[in-house]
Structure 1
Amino acid sequence: MRTFVHGEVVWGVACPRRPSRVAGVTMAGFRVRDLDALRMVPHPAVTLLLEFGAGSPVVDCAAGRQQRGSLVAGPGLGSGGAVRARGENVECVQVRLSPVIARAVLGVSPADLDGAVVSLGDLWGQEASRIREQLGDVASWQDRFALADALLARRHEAGPPVDPEVAWAWHRIVVSRGLARVDGLAAEVEWSRKRLWSRFRSQLGLPPKRAVKLVRFDHAAHRLVAGEGAARVAADAGYADQSHLHRDVRAFTGATPATMAGEPFLAVDDIAWPNRGTPAKPHVSRDLRLGRRPSDRS
């Protein structure tokens, strides 16, 4: 476990030695004695938090709503800067799920979360309690990662996949770092725009245009954290100008680019998610890989 220090707060951070068996799953372990009002910065993944320690994380959402313990939230958690996490003696495994596999793993589409933070127990019932006990019973972080990965792999195998056309469109957005032309996605898979937009939204939990903005913002945000100037980041990331970047950061985080660049939620990423820039390869049909029209499914 490595140490990450931000201000007066010391985090313990652990990473798996091996990648997940499921493409699109990444995870990290955290131990924080005193977590104080951590701003949740939107990320293009479904967040799954598996807590097991003596303490319990609390997530404060908009309109005074709270969620305690293990939870799940759709892509873009924290948009507008209204979500904060806090707690004492927090120990957890945080899992980032590609929206492409989230429906299979969770048992519900990210769209069914409707942008809310949901108790994992409400989705998984007793299975959520069992994994909490199992994570607490083992002594090492690598064993915890192995337990979590086995659970995710089993659920993924049993769950329904998204349409390969939807997976392909998501992959194009991610590998382009949010620079893909939204109007061109439907043409690439030879679907109507209406059909792709409807399937994308219902299966991944956000429309393609929002996905492009979120992926582009995430790339820009990490470059700002790395110390790059806002003008250069705006130009390279596809924003019209620096003011456009500023507005996007405000919309996603409720903060200025300079303030956001110092957020620990982002600053810890180099330790916790060292391979975040490598997108998982989606499941796509052979026809799509060869550039042919996929079979027409209703």
Structure 2
Amino acid sequence: MSWEIARPSRALALRGFDMAGFRIHGGGSESLRAIPHPAVTVLLEFGDSRFDIDDPAGRVRAGSLALGLIRDPVPLRVEALECVQVRMSPLAASAVLGMPVSELGGTLVGLDELWGRDAARLCERLHETPCWQQRFALIEATLAARLHDRHPADPEVAWAWRRIVGSRGRYRVEELAAEVGWSRQRLWSRFGAQVGLTPKRAAKLVRFDHAVHRLVQGQAPALVAADTGYADQSHLHRDIREFTGAPPASAAAEPFLTVDDRAWPSAGG
């Protein structure tokens, strides 16, 4: 299976968003898996694509999709795929998708269910657009329009999320609550409603994501465990198995992780 990956030629003006274009071709259908990542993902499919993906409820979906903050790997089968994938902070996702991230949860939703005919019109325009950079510009304008005049997350929730991401998951909930001036219960409740995960679960996902990308880079599990805040190597192994369903060596070879250094250069940094 061959992968063509395109990146925007400039940084996005929209904070909390990242994009990559994918053109995937193979000699037949290949089974892959989407691995949990600390972002809400939108897949905008616009080419001669042949793929399907199993959502956590057991339904088979295809086409343009929104994927919440999943807890387990999601199987998909790909023969060919041409798409732009957008990763967005859960702080912005509610406004963009038009529904609370907590309601999206760890599920897959067809983009037409959220945007109606606007989803099909956008994908038609992407199909007619001749190059990746123009596609990225079109999507950025669409996202900016959907963000306009929408209610942002509570400043305290936004601050807590950015602390968790900036510390790579090594922030205690009690410390976050104290620093924003809320009780632990209030932070837990408001964060869960606006991000879709509890602060503890969000920190666990962010730490896993950082650790697994270091494994993909070829670093030794013992070193990764020590440097990323795990109690020991077996603790790291448990989290890897929980989020990927595979041991560290197998997880480090997952195709959607191994292409991240090209599609999302900051993923493992």
Please state which band the TM-score falls in when normalised by the shorter chain. over 0.9
**Alignment of 1:208 onto 2:199:** yes
**Alignment of 1:126 onto 2:120:** no
**Alignment of 1:243 onto 2:234:** yes
Structure 2 equivalent of residue 17 of structure 1: 9
* CA distance in structure 2 between the aligned counterparts of 1:56 and 1:182, rounded to whole angstroms: 43
Contact 1:13 1:29 in 2 (8 A): yes
* CA distance in structure 1 between the aligned counterparts of 2:252 and 2:245, rounded to whole angstroms: 12
Q: Which runs of 5+ in 2 are unaligned?
A: none
* CA distance in structure 2 between the aligned counterparts of 1:40 and 1:162, rounded to whole angstroms: 27
* CA distance in structure 2 between the aligned counterparts of 1:149 and 1:166, rounded to whole angstroms: 24
**Alignment of 1:89 onto 2:69:** no
Q: Which of the numbers 41, 44, 49 marks the counterpart of 1:47?
A: 41
Structure 2 equivalent of residue 59 of structure 1: 53
Q: Secondary structure at the match of 2:148?
A: helix
Structure 2 equivalent of residue 177 of structure 1: 168
CA displacement 1:3-45 (0-9 Å, x = unmatched): xxxxxx1101000001222100100000011362111111000
**Alignment of 1:26 onto 2:43:** no
Call closer, same or farther: CA 1:277–1:166 in 2, change over 3 Å: farther
Same amino acid, percent of matched pairs = 58
CA displacement 1:259-287 (0-9 Å, x = unmatched): 00011111101111113468xxxxxxxxx
More divergent stretch after superposition (61-70 vs 183-192): 61-70
Name the count of aligned residue pairs: 267
* CA distance in structure 2 between the aligned counterparts of 1:57 and 1:151, rounded to whole angstroms: 25
Question: What's the CA shift for 1:63?
Answer: 5.3
Q: Which of the numbers 106, 113, 127 marks the counterpart of 1:115?
A: 106
Call closer, same or farther: CA 1:229–1:219 in 2, change over 3 Å: same
Structure 1 equivalent of residue 216 of structure 2: 225
* CA distance in structure 1 between the aligned counterparts of 2:114 and 2:225, rounded to whole angstroms: 39
Q: Secondary structure at the match of 1:255?
A: coil
**Residue type of the partner of 2:41?**
T
Structure 2 equivalent of residue 154 of structure 1: 145
Contact 1:80 1:250 in 2 (8 A): no
Q: CA RMSD in A?
A: 1.3
Contact 2:173 2:184 in 1 (8 A): no
Q: Secondary structure at the match of 2:9?
A: coil
Q: Secondary structure at the match of 2:72?
A: helix
* CA distance in structure 2 between the aligned counterparts of 1:156 and 1:86, rounded to whole angstroms: 32
* CA distance in structure 2 between the aligned counterparts of 1:138 and 1:226, rounded to whole angstroms: 35
Contact 2:90 2:101 in 1 (8 A): yes
Q: Which runs of 5+ in 1 are unaligned?
A: 1-8, 279-298
Q: Which of the numbers 174, 181, 188 marks the counterpart of 1:197?
A: 188
